[in-house]
Amino acid sequence: MKRYYIVYEGIVQGVGFRWRLIQIARKKQLTGYVRNCDNGNVECEAQGEKVDEFLKESLENDRFAKVFNYSLREMPLNKEEKEFTVRF
């Protein structure tokens, strides 16, 4: 099991990107969070067995969202977390 802190850059706010990340994370049974940043980026922490699959799928562009760049850092596990949520 791994936990990643990911920052997505591109057209990722106001286009349903956070909602898509929530759907992917829940499908893969991950925990963590996603939130918009003040600078137009989206950040998330995702944890679970299928976090690498989550990352790959999250980088696929759709009709509206376009990820131009991302950064990734492995984090310590959070064993208290129970779900994947949106933070504000």
35 within a domain of the structure (yes/no): yes
To the query of whether residue 41 is one of the catalytic residues in this protein, the response is: no
Tell me the residue range of the domain where 56 lies: 2-76
Q: What is the domain count for the chain?
A: 1
41 within a domain of the structure (yes/no): yes
54 within a domain of the structure (yes/no): yes
CA distances from 80 to 13, 66, 70, 71, 84 (A): 28, 32, 27, 25, 12
Residue among 43, 48, 23 at smallest CA distance from 33: 43
Q: Which residues of the chain have pLDDT under 50?
A: none
To the query of whether residue 3 is one of the catalytic residues in this protein, the response is: no
CATH number of the domain encompassing residue 8? 3.30.70.100
Determine the 3-state secondary structure of 25 from DSSP: helix
User: Which residue among the candidates 3, 18, 35, 41 is catalytic per the annotation?
Assistant: 18
Q: What is the pLDDT of residue 19?
A: 96
82 within a domain of the structure (yes/no): no
The whole-angstrom separation of Cα 7 and Cα 52 is: 15
85 within a domain of the structure (yes/no): no
